[in-house]
Each structure stands twice: as C-alpha cells, then as structure tokens.
Amino acid sequence: QYVRPAEKKLAKTCFIITFEDGWQLRYSDRLLMGKVYVVPIDGLASVPMFAELGPEALDVSEDEFRARIKQYRGAIKNVLTNHKFIAGIGNAYSDEILFEAGIAPFRKRTEMSDDDVGALHTAIHKTMDRSIPIVTAKFAEGLDYTEWRDHLKVHRKGGGKNKDEGRCPRCGTHITEISPNQRVTSWCRTCQK
C-alpha cells in the first residue's frame, strides 16, 4: 500500500517505509510467505532468485512462449506458476488462465497439443488484460486483499452453501476445489480437459 500514515494498517503489515513527505509504503503479507529486500538499483542481481526470473507474462511473444514451455514437464498449473518459466502468474491467476484456455490444471504439459499451447498464451493475455485494470482500481481504493478477487471466474468459487452457488459461469457445473499443499486449485471438470 502507498498511503498516508493515518490510514488503517492492513492485517499482517510486516514492513513500513515512511517517506519525507509523510506518505508510507507498507508491505502486508497475509500468508507470511514473502520477503523484502532493500538494495540499490545496481544491486538487484544480489537478490535471491531475481536473476532466475523468466520474462514477465505479458512481455512474452507466442513464439518465445512456445520455445520456453518445451523445457518444462509436469502439471500445467505448476508450469504456469514457476517463475523461472514466466514471471507474474500466481496461484489464483493460473486457475483463471487455465479456465479461459479450457485446460485442466493437472494435465501434463507434455500431453498438450500445439493448439493448446497457443490457447494458453492467448488466455494469459486475455485474463491479465481484463484483470489488471480491475485490481489496479481496487488497490487504489485501498480495499482489503480479499476484496480484489470478486472479478475472478473460478478461483475460490467452489463449495457454495446452496445448490446454486459455486457454479461454472460457462456451463453451470459445480466448480471443483481442492487444496493440495495448502494451495487452492479451482476448475470446471466439464469445461476444462
């Protein structure tokens, strides 16, 4: 958050920098999994894993995406969230991207066709281009992290309390949700193959 000091601190605020003009940069980590490094601009290479990051998700051409993805095996969700492959896709957006592409999260990358890989690249752009303005606006409003997720189509949409909740926006099937390794994975068993 970039806020005035009087602004209420979010839960799990771990780090605050106060600038000369009084504004504060606050780091809140709900899951307590992040790290903060303060280094001069010419010292970025000293930050662990920074040099290993792949290109930003929206900066990768389809040809580069196809070449990079060939290096990875395993479940496609794990490939998408591997920041050495491409940076910037986390757990929630991997679910959304895979839903957009119609690809099941546990499908092996090696079982995907060329058309699937193209659809995945397109889905990254479509999902992120739709989501970034929404999240940017919500961030500017100072909304809590959990309120940023209303626009998602499948991630954490499963498990509704009544028969009409937690349904796929395309086909109406109940969204499946599991939590291996404390990481929620949500998908439609009908629309995603």
Kindly write down the DSSP assignment for every residue of 170-188, as one continuous string: TT-PBPEEE-GGG--EEE-
Q: Where are the beta strands (DSSP E) in the chain?
A: 2-3, 13-18, 24-28, 176-178, 185-187
pLDDT at 143: 65
Give yes or no for a contact between 88 and 57, defined as CB atoms under 8 angstroms apart: yes
Q: Check whether 164 has a pLDDT greater than 80.
A: no
Identify the structural domains of the chain with CATH numbers, from first to last.
Answer: 37-187 (1.10.8.50)
Q: Check whether 11 has a pLDDT greater than 80.
A: yes
pTM: 0.80
